[in-house]
Amino acid sequence: MITVLFNDAPRQLATGETVAELLQELVLPPRGIAVAVNGEVVRRADWASHALSDGDRVDVLTASQGG
């Protein structure tokens, strides 16, 4: 197991879990999602191959009323 900081809260993941696998575990709307790992954008095309590491900071964002 590894522990990542998901939206500021610790979360246990399987070792080698990818961004795509994490997103599958979450209940998410079908569109309008962006992911940053350690402050860097992970492109949609890389979600399936980007494996998370222990201690990673993962932020998952979507649309919010604003502007």
Partner 1 sequence: MFSLAGAGFTSRLILGTGGASSLHALEQAIIASGTQLVTVALRRIDATEHGLLDLLARLEVRLLPNTAGCYTAADAVRTARLAREAFETDWIKLEVIGDERTRLPDAVELVRAASQLLDDGFVVLPYTTDDPVLARRLADLGCAAVMPAGAPIGSGLGISNPHHIRLIREAVSCPVILDAGIGTASDAALAMELGCDAVMLATAVTRAADPTAMALAMRHAVTAGHLAAQAGRIPRRDYALASTSDSGLVTWT
Residues that bind partner 1 (CB under 8 A): 7-8, 26, 28-29, 31-36, 39, 41, 43-44, 59-67
- Token digits for 38? 């350690």
Q: Indicate the residue among 7 and 15 with the shorter CB distance to partner 1.
A: 7
> How many Cα atoms are found within 13 Å in the side-chain-facing hemisphere of 23?
25
Q: How far is the CB of 52 from partner 1 (least distance, A)?
A: 16
Residue 4, classed as helix, strand or coil, is strand
Length of the chain, please? 67
Give min distance, CB of 26 to partner 1, in A: 7
CB closer to partner 1 out of 15 and 36: 36
Q: Which residue has 């990818």 as its token pair?
A: 18
